[in-house]
Amino acid sequence: MARINLEDIYHIKTTDALRVAYDNWADDFDQQLDAELGYQGWGLVVSSIAGRLPSDALILDAGAGTGAVGLAARDAGFPTLDAMDLSLDMLEIAREHGIYRDVRVGVLGEPLDYATDSYDAVLSAGVFTPGHAPPEGFDELIRIVKPGGAICFTLRHDVTPPGFLETFERMKEEGLWKQVSVSEPFQGMPGGEPDVRHRVWLFLVV
């Protein structure tokens, strides 16, 4: 198993290097992020859309990793789930949970292999953070989510990656989505990384 220094992973420069890092991390990911660091984002993105979507909503877990968001969504009463991630090794662990209808490799910021208006919601936790998915990823997420559908995600707040806030404003001005809520900053990993803060953002596609 391979443990990861989170500060190192925030500074990875290429998609291929990030994929390799997560492939190597897959077997130890849940132990480190959940059991040791107590990562909060997975449950918070799900609770943000609870009550806003019907129970039969089709949800894409984008940047699914080992499937923690999917497990939280299933437990919240959303059984119809698909998973996408850049790491095949992470996805193989997610597949073993038996909760996803479809599991496939995809990279946020690149064209996605999904039809337009496929989903009622996209959820992402821990994906829009330094060294990871870029703000350009939202163009494709808006395309694949139905009008009125939700896009809910965490975003690093203490060190917000460049371009995100400007992208949010541009998409609002262009009438592509509307902001529903943004949480107060919270400590995403109370078991470690004390200076790291996140917020949960929720938008509806227009």
Q: What is the structure's pLDDT at 131?
A: 86
- Per-residue pLDDT tens over the stretch 103-143: 999 999 999 999 999 999 999 999 998 889 999 999 999 99
Cα distance between residue 192 and residue 196, in whole Å: 9
Confidence of residue 206 (pLDDT cuts 50, 70, 90): very high
Q: What is the structure's pLDDT at 33?
A: 84
- Per-residue pLDDT tens over the stretch 152-203: 999 999 989 999 999 999 999 999 999 999 999 998 888 777 788 999 999 9
- Per-residue pLDDT tens over the stretch 41-84: 999 999 999 999 999 999 999 999 999 999 999 999 999 999 99
Return the number of other C-beta atoms located less than 10 Å from residue 162's C-beta.
11
Return the number of other C-beta atoms located less than 10 Å from residue 87's C-beta.
24
* CB 9 within 8 Å of CB 196: no
Confidence of residue 1 (pLDDT cuts 50, 70, 90): very low
Give me the residue spans of the domains in the chain.
6-205
Q: What is the structure's pLDDT at 39?
A: 87
Residue 120 burial (CB < 10 Å; 0-12/13-18/19+)?
buried
In DSSP terms, 54 is beta-bridged to none
- 3 pLDDT above the threshold of 70: no
Q: What is the structure's pLDDT at 31?
A: 86
Checking DSSP bridges between strand 145-156 and strand 177-182, what pairing results, if any? unpaired
Give residue 190's identity as a one-letter amino acid code.
P
Looking at CATH, the fold of the domain delimited by 6-205 is given as Rossmann fold (3.40.50)
Full DSSP string of 41-53 = HHHHHHHHHTTTS
* CB 119 within 8 Å of CB 149: yes
For helices 41-49 and 68-75, angle between their N-to-C axes, nearest 10 degrees: 40
Q: What are the backbone dihedrals phi and psi of residue 83, each rounded to the nearest 5 degrees, phi first?
A: -130, 140
* CB 57 within 8 Å of CB 171: no
